[in-house]
Structure 1
Amino acid sequence: MARRDQWVMLTTLAVLQTLTIVTGVYAMTTDFSLSALTNGSTPTGPTASSPAEGSSPVPVVTSGPVLARLPVKPGDGPLPTKGTLTRQLTGALGDKALGGRVGAVVIDTVTGEQIFASNADLAITPASTTKIVTCAAALAALGPDTRLSTRVVQGPKPGTAILVGGGDPLLAGPSAKDDGYPKQARLSTLAARTAATLKAQNVRKITLYYDTSLFTGTPKAPGWKTNYIPDGEVAPVHALTMDEGRQDPRFRSPRVADPPRYAAAAFARLLAKQGITVAKSVRQAKAQPGAAELGKVDSAPLYALVEHTLTRSDNDLAEALLRHVAIKQGRPATFDGGAAAVIAVLQRLGAGQNVALSDGSGLSIRNRISPNALAKVLALSGSAAHPELRAVASGMPIAGFSGTLGNGRRFTRSDSKGQVGLVRAKTGTLNNINTLAGMATTKDGRLVTFAFMADRVPLNAEPVLDRLAATVARS
């Protein structure tokens, strides 16, 4: 990535009744800083939020807090006074709403020094902040420009074709709108390309098969609750899925019981519309290595998929990325193989201590990650040494603006609303578990990362976590 000496920031805000709020900043600097914390995109495509993390309309805010603090030299202002920060954070960590098991850390991204730590190495159930480590490992292992390909190849006999799943759960079915971010590969495009190839070969009638062998193992992770799939939190994990396994892409639920068969049946109907007759029976089969390609569509680049995964807390895409890391690392494309592969990549990055995974999305209650590990990964995403990880930073929801921090419930109280637009963070929410990990610039322009985690919450600790993050931002 070319070196650049400054930030370019663009934030457009308008009244909700007349315009849609769009916030974005494109950061390109080797001294990576999120001084106003508005860098990134606001995806609007299909989502699968973690429990209690659904999105709602973005509240109207003024531009003042977002634009006010662009330091002359972003990211390397003076450190906040440790004594003051420690006193303020310690006071907030004593709030009974957090329960009896809490970990916290604040890290200076310039030096890597812990500015504040309380149970920083305690392995805590992370909920959806798990997606931070999954996405970082995917970017590090695969590269930010990698795309996920869904293909159709020649079958074993003349007049046969095989639809090969490439592990892209955002593959759009025939009824999905084509107006989201990131740009989705479409099954209809694949059908048109395949039909054109077949017609060029004077083939007008085929028997269709489908191949899901890229991913293996059970489609449900250890530690998932039985209601997750029926409630639409996630679909069974397969290499061939369209619309993230939704019966209707407009709604989170219901999810289909057999996503590969559902996608293959839809593809057969799309081929028919292109003038290709498809035999009634569509069965599963494995494509032969080197089989001639009849058609292909590619996903958006990985950096955009990561942004979407983090901003929208997309469980389905996170689980797919976990398996792609496993494949790249030469491990089985299963939950266990993916977990081991992600941890191995994190260890190479120097952030793999006190991390134990059972899935990639954070739905599993068996996952354990320390606050220090999360904050380290976030610090790496802002490091000049790891430009490939930048999408982790740009994918963080913006307080009061986007994703799971733009739902009208977060950063609304008097002790946090002043930091709207100045905090980027990934939320984590499961029953009795609240976590928040992200980054902020201090009042003097120092970029820091933080992780605040509690997994014995009596009811709801989100307002306290917002208070903690806001305290860091105004320190």
Structure 2
Amino acid sequence: MRLSIKSKQMLILFLAVFLTFTPSQAMEEPQVKASPEEGSMSDQIDEIVSDERLDGALAGVSVRSADNGEVSYEHDGDVRLKPASNMKLLTGAAALETLGEDYTFTTEVFVDGSIKGKKLHGDLYIKGEGDPTLMQEDFEAFAQSVKENGIQEVKGDLIADDTWYDDIRLSEDISWNDETNYTASQISALTVSPNEDYDAGTVIVDAYPAETEGDPAEVQVTPENDYVEIVNKTVTTASSQSRDISIEREHGTNQIIVEGEIPLEGSRSRSWVAVSEPTGLALNLFHKALAEEGIKVKGEERAGEKTPEAADSLTSKESMPLKELFIPFMKLSNNGHAEVLIKEMGKVVHGEGSWDKGLEAVEEFLEGNDVNADEMRLRDGSGMSHVNMVPANEISQLLYQVQDKEWFPTYLNSLPVAGVSDRFVGGTLRNRMGNTAAEDNVQAKTGSLTGVNSLSGYVTTKDGEKLIFTILLNNYLGAAQSIGDEVAVALAEYESGE
């Protein structure tokens, strides 16, 4: 077939256009290039996470819009990593949804028997339902109520009922050398805190220098009790000497060894120590409070027995609501609170106050809020476990989803605020990112384990855009906290230029 002159010209033009493309270009979809502004954010974060301190380590980073949830930056965002205390973001959100921000914990005193004259012919029970905020003065108030009800003698036993939860005291991945540390306190439905940080299941041990050189230090325990035994192996040295005091509980006992040297006129040495079987400490304080009110208990102390259904309620106490408890819980990253919330969710949702049932409730909450729990491994509520595995993208997705919840203001208010010195505002971020664009801007949950550092929360950029971010750093050697801070500051300083 012969082509006309016009057809030949058209064929030549087509071939010329076609041959200007390589074969790969002809097959590919058009590429959407990031704007210079978007590239600027990505380049900055890429540079930060390429820090040599992360050589051989892992960094999961996820940044998304707080307005529409669109991911604007990620670096291994779908890789499962250890979240450390960022696990509390999941636990806290599930608790607010499941229990409610007005939820309280109840502690109640019962009598099982008859009151004749001024004597209780039967047993006196104190029943705990998980309140981590009980303090010594609460047991004193219970004792006063017993007296006001006309009881001056208990002919039977004094019994602590902690059966609201199961009797497993520690989550399964707590290591042997963490067990006496306050960050791994045992979980009981009946427990006591030494002060208003509410580190339930612990005592505070203070060692002060004696007035005379060579004498043992003065050791004080808060709250005062007969449950723990102090073994004082300290000595007060010359004021020119340095302080070297160790305060440790002997594993498997409630014997606390205090040893070392403390100089004359030197500062105290203080430590929070987790007790073994905290129900016993609560029972001991109640017994002491009764004695101070002149109430005699003729029988024995017993723990772990359920209150009979026929017993009569004598007095009770409600804890502060969750919206108030969330301040010490999240601001100070209280591990015990997280584990209590896990067991409480298990009890309320599935009728069993255990880690298994509580974590099941958390997973159900996540799945119901478009967070993929199938991509996670959850082993506790606090993040103490090195076996927890959560992708950065799923944490940032959670932080996006919860913004529409009625309880979100409580959740947001509980997060530490960068660079704010007030302990119950700045929390674990009070000494971080000061004098930067992140100060009094970044609201985020911190996390730290050996070789793990995490930071997740909310930030407003320089031009007013609200962002959500998650930073999970794993398997590094040395220190890496400042790397997460650098990412948060870069986001606070970011300006799109639009």
Equivalent runs, 1:58-69 vs 2, <5 Å: none
Question: CA 1:360 to 1:448, structure 2 compared with 1: closer, same or farther past 3 Å?
Answer: same
What is the root-mean-square deviation of aligned Cα atoms in Å? 2.2
User: 1:392 Cα deviation (Å)?
Assistant: 2.0
Report the Cα distance in structure 2 between the residues aligned to 1:82 and 1:98, rounded to whole angstroms.
24
* Cα distance in 1 between the residues matched to 2:406 and 2:163: 33
Once the two structures are TM-superposed, the CA of residue 280 in structure 1 deviates from its matched residue by: 4.9
**Residue in 2 that maps onto 1:459:** 478
1:90-114 Cα distance to aligned partner (Å, 9 max, x none): 1111112234211111121211111
Change beyond 3 A, Cα 1:102–1:305: same
Structure with the greater alpha carbon radius of gyration: 2
Question: TM-score under structure 1 normalisation?
Answer: 0.75
Provide closer, same or farther for how the CA distance between residues 297 and 93 of structure 1 changes in structure 2, counting only shifts above 3 A. same
Aligned residue pairs: how many? 376
Deviations 1:6-35 (A, max 9, x none): xxxxxxxxxxxxxxxxxxxxxxxxxxxxxx
Matches within 5 A, 1:108-187: 108-155=65-112, 158-174=121-137, 186-187=138-139
Task: Determine which of 286, 289, 293 is the counterpart of 1:267.
Answer: 286
- The residue type paired with residue 246 of structure 1 is T
Is 1:254 paired with 2:273?
yes
In proportion to residue count, which structure has more strand?
2
Moved over 6 A (4+): none
Return the structure number with greater relative CO, CA threshold 8 A, min gap 6: 1
2:370 counterpart residue number = 350
CA contact (8 A) 2:347 2:354 kept: no
Quote the residue 2:383 is aligned against: 362
Unaligned segments of structure 1, at least 5 residues: 1-78, 175-185
Q: How many Å separate the matches in 2 of 1:117 and 1:310?
A: 26
* Residue 439 to residue 290, structure 1, CA distance change in 2 (3 Å): farther
2:170 and 2:186 in contact (8 A); partners too? yes
Distance 1:252 1:371, change over 3 A: farther
Match of 1:89 among 45, 48, 73: 45
2:449 maps to which residue? 430
Deviation, structure 1 residue 156: 6.1
**1:232 Cα shift?**
2.4
Compared with structure 1, are the counterparts of its residues 80 and 142 closer, same or farther at alpha carbon in structure 2 (3 Å cutoff)? Answer: farther
Q: Structure 2: how far apart are the matches of 1:296 and 1:334? A: 24
Instruction: Give the match's secondary structure for 1:444.
Output: coil
Find the aligned partners of 2:348 and 2:88 in 1 and give their Cα distance: 18
Identify unmatched segments of 5+ residues in structure 2.
1-34, 115-120, 194-199, 205-221, 224-269, 421-425
Matched, 1:188 2:137: no
Q: Percent identity?
A: 27
Partner SS, residue 237 of structure 1:
coil
Partner Cα separation in structure 1 for residue 132 and residue 78 of structure 2:
34
Letter in 1 for 2:145: R
Between the aligned partners of 1:297 and 1:133, the Cα distance in structure 2 is 28
Counterpart AA for 1:427:
T
Does the aligned pair in 1 maintain the 2:83–2:454 contact within 8 Å?
yes
| 3-state SS of paired residue (2:280) | helix
**TM-score with structure 2 setting the length:** 0.71
Post-superposition offset of 1:263: 0.6
Question: Does the C-alpha gap of structure 1 residues 360 and 87 become closer, same or farther in structure 2, counting only changes over 3 Å?
Answer: same
Confirm or deny: 8 A CA contact 1:246 1:253 kept in the other structure. Answer: yes
SS state at 2:324 partner: helix
Displacement after TM superposition at 1:144 (Å): 0.2
User: Are the equivalent residues in 1 in contact too, given 2:60–2:76 (CA < 8 A)?
Assistant: yes
Matched, 1:376 2:397: yes
The answer to whether the 8 Å contact 1:138/1:325 transfers is: yes
Which digits, 9 at most, give the CA deviation of each residue in 1:372-392, with x for residues without a partner? 2222222234x2x30123322
CA-CA distance at 1:449 after TM superposition? 1.2
- Change in 2 beyond 3 A, CA 1:369/1:160: same
Deviations 1:122-151 (A, max 9, x none): 111011111111111110000000111111
Distance (whole Å) between structure 2 residues aligned to residue 220 and residue 300 of structure 1: 25
Q: Following TM superposition, by how much is the alpha carbon of 1:154 offset from its aligned partner in structure 2, in angstroms?
A: 2.5
User: Could you say what secondary structure the match of 1:317 adopts?
Assistant: helix
1:220-256 CA-to-partner distances (Å, cap 9, x unmatched) read 1122121222232221111111011223348552222
Q: State the one-letter code of the partner of 1:296.
A: S
In 1, are the aligned partners of 2:180 and 2:275 still within 8 Å (CA)?
Answer: no
SS of 1:313's partner is coil
Contact 2:61 2:472 (C-alpha < 8 Å) held by counterparts = yes
Q: Distance in 2 between matches of 1:113 and 1:386?
A: 19
1:331 & 1:205 partners in 2: Cα distance? 33
- Matching of residue 440 in structure 1 with residue 459 in structure 2: yes
